[in-house]
Structure 1
């Protein structure tokens, strides 16, 4: 198992929990942390034993965004652009393409690029006192790390624009109203609740879930005809899976299916 210094990865039966582990900095993102996150998701992608993932933050906050200290000194505008392309793009893309569900456990504040990391999860559970903050405009910057993509798709243009330019904290309850989170729980049960949801998903047909995720991700840019064509292609894969056969048998035998994820 890989050794990490900025994140902590725990494997428990069929789920993996990735914890951002710089609590003294509110888990602000550094280049090593982005690299380790990308490596962890790549390892999970290739591990058939892992069928669902939880992403959480240690300490009092999920993620304070980019650690601006790394851009001090001789950093140029080109360096910032290149860092987004070299480190953020592959990580966020990997999360969206991962064929296993990711449940985000959001405590404290998910700010800036930390908000992007939260929104890259397929599902989100927020503590009652948690919030999301698109902080970029507060320091004269543009939302990055996929924020414009996620906000527009979750909220539509006008609400996405408002949140991006106002730079105000969005409470957990407001996030629930807007559809930016799926559930709200007491802070003390956050990780337990997220892991329980991930474990429940891990008992589902993993292959079909991954194919469904692929179809929904592409639905934003596909035409209706293209979406139906993709569904047909993916259904061709799903219908020959062991999980489909098990699901049909369980239905016929009036019992709960025992999916293997294959």
Structure 2
């Protein structure tokens, strides 16, 4: 366990929890660093077959912590480092030969929602609420979703979700395919464990090869999309208009 991320081993399942419940698990520097370390450790552990990513408390994650955003993006160098750290989590999830399950409840916003899109299976509780706020603030998305989500839902729906930035419920997540399944909030972790157990029953090498092959075929432009996202997100963080909008929010 760290200050901002919890980990526990449950057989071959590694549970990784975002742990800033007083801030709805909002993303700040320590959380991203701790999450990176937790994913590194899980990916290096031969006894871990499945990773479950979830949020402690009342939400999965409310996106960037706006109270700390100035400290992360106060200069071009700081903004670049911050976005690269966020993008590195995407690389760890998608490049892992473990299956990564997102167990989403409460609010799931912005960069955290983009991490969820990166996961192999996305379970949403029926109380989940989600949206992409970045364009509304004059910023930009991360996690390769300009490629991943567009291929998944089509360009028109991707534009609706990311340009309009409206708040949606779990049913919309299921309708668009962002959610794999929706379940009652009080059964979310049990459903994640059942799914993980079913995956663990399969041969690890075959599962890892299948994930790698599907990702290579479907997400071939991931790095190009992330490079564009990083450039535009850094520019947005340094924009006076975007800073004003974030502070007003």
Cα shift at 1:154: 1.8
Which of 136, 139, 154 is equivalent to 1:138?
Answer: 136
Deviations 1:173-221 (A, max 9, x none): 1111111111110011111211221122112111111111111111036
Conserved in 2, the CA contact under 8 Å of 1:84 and 1:145? no
Give the match for residue 61 of structure 1.
Answer: 59
d(CA) in 2 for partners of 1:77 and 1:109?
Answer: 30
Larger RCO (CA within 8 A; separation ≥ 6): 2
Cα shift at 1:157: 1.4
Give the match for residue 109 of structure 1.
Answer: 107
Conserved in 2, the CA contact under 8 Å of 1:115 and 1:147? no
Deviates more, 1:127-136 or 1:149-158: 149-158
1:32–1:159 Cα change, 3 Å: same
Which of 47, 50, 53 is equivalent to 1:52?
Answer: 50
Give the match for residue 84 of structure 1.
Answer: 83
Q: Identify unmatched segments of 5+ residues in structure 1.
A: 223-262
Give the match for residue 225 of structure 2.
Answer: none
Deviations 1:18-50 (A, max 9, x none): 010001101001111111111111111121111
d(CA) in 2 for partners of 1:174 and 1:119?
Answer: 14
Give the match for residue 23 of structure 1.
Answer: 21
SS at 1:141 equivalent? coil
SS at 2:68 equivalent? helix
d(CA) in 2 for partners of 1:154 and 1:122?
Answer: 13
Give the match for residue 197 of structure 2.
Answer: 199
Give the match for residue 38 of structure 2.
Answer: 40
Conserved in 2, the CA contact under 8 Å of 1:29 and 1:65? yes
SS at 1:48 equivalent? coil
Deviations 1:132-174 (A, max 9, x none): 2111122121112333233213212111111100111221111
d(CA) in 1 for partners of 2:148 and 2:56?
Answer: 24
Cα shift at 1:56: 0.4
SS at 1:69 equivalent? coil
1:215–1:82 Cα change, 3 Å: same
Give the match for residue 6 of structure 1.
Answer: 4
CA RMSD of aligned residues (A): 1.6
Q: Which runs of 4+ in 1 moved over 4 A?
A: none
Decide which structure has the larger Cα Rg and report it: 1
Give the match for residue 229 of structure 1.
Answer: none
SS at 2:149 equivalent? helix
Give the match for residue 75 of structure 1.
Answer: 74
Conserved in 2, the CA contact under 8 Å of 1:109 and 1:130? yes
Which of 184, 187, 195 is equivalent to 1:186?
Answer: 184
d(CA) in 2 for partners of 1:147 and 1:23?
Answer: 26
Which of 122, 125, 140 is equivalent to 1:124?
Answer: 122
